[in-house]
Structure 1
Amino acid sequence: MDVLTVLPSNFGYAIFTYLYSWVMLGYLAIKVGAGRKKYGVKYPTMYSDKEPVFNCIQRAHQNTLEVYPQWLVFQTLAALVYPLSASVLGAIWVTSRLSYAWGYYTGDPSKRMNGAYGYIGYFGVIFLSISVALQLLGLF
């Protein structure tokens, strides 16, 4: 069985969403590395006792990593049945993580809420995943 015959024809959009998320994670990681150098925070120290801006940079990356595995699962489940919708919702979530980080990078943690629109994408793929589950169970 060929994977190209099993996956929906628009699943390529989902793959590009995954690639976009990979670029976003790389960017956030690079910012942490640059912050370590700028603020003198050596490995393996996670946070600084002296540099709150570094802590904001680190938290933006860490918080994204904390939710990323769940997003990947829901993104994949949703994209198997609704590839285009899941891809749009996924792109919203990924873009919001950049907005979240840029707000956090200011050193004012309240500005991380600039990325709050990402909940549209996150809860959207969860909703679509529930829809897939209900369809598989014959309940919808």
Structure 2
Amino acid sequence: MDILTVLPSSFGYVIFTYLYSWVMLSYLGIQVGVARKKYSVKYPAMYSDKDMVFNCIQRAHQNTLEVYPQWLVFQTIAALVYPATTSVLGIIWVTSRFSYAWGYYTGDPEKRMRGVYGYIGYLGVIILSICVALQLLGVF
């Protein structure tokens, strides 16, 4: 069975959403590398005892990595049945991680809340994943 005949054709949008998330993760990782040089934070240290801004840059990347695996799982499950909607929700979540990071990069951790709208995308794919599970179980 060919995968192209199994997946909905609009799953292509989801693949582009995954690629967008890769760009976002790469960007956040590069920013940590740049900040390591700027603030002289040597490996293997994760955080700085001296520079709060470095810690905010590192934390924006780390927090994104902490939620990324769950997002990938729910994004994939939801996309099997609702690919276009899931892609839109994924774009919202990924874009919010840029807003979250740029707010954090100011050195004021409260400004990370600029990315709070990402919960629309994150909770959206969780809800759609629950819908897929209930459909598979014949509940609706």
TM-score after normalising by structure 1: 1.00
Shift of 1:26: 0.0
Specify the SS of the correspondent of 1:45.
coil
Shift of 1:95: 0.1
Deviation readout 1:18-77 (Å, 9 max, x if unpaired): 000000000000000000000000000000000000000000000000000000000000
* Runs of at least 4 residues off by over 6 Å: none
Q: Distance in 1 between matches of 2:43 and 2:79?
A: 38
Q: Distance in 2 between matches of 1:79 and 1:13?
A: 9
Letter in 2 for 1:83: P
Q: Distance in 2 between matches of 1:48 and 1:9?
A: 47
Q: Distance in 2 between matches of 1:137 and 1:8?
A: 21
In structure 2, the gaps of 5 or more residues are none
Matching residue of 1:9: 9
1:79 aligns with 2:79: yes
Matching residue of 1:114: 114
Shift of 1:130: 0.2
Matching residue of 1:88: 88
RMSD between aligned residues = 0.2
In structure 1, the gaps of 5 or more residues are none
Matching residue of 1:29: 29
Listed as ranges, the matches of 1:24-103 within 5 Å are 24-103=24-103
- Identity percentage over the alignment? 82
TM-score after normalising by structure 2: 1.00
Letter in 2 for 1:31: Q
Q: Distance in 1 between matches of 2:8 and 2:60?
A: 34
Specify the SS of the correspondent of 1:47.
coil
Q: Distance in 2 between matches of 1:34 and 1:9?
A: 39
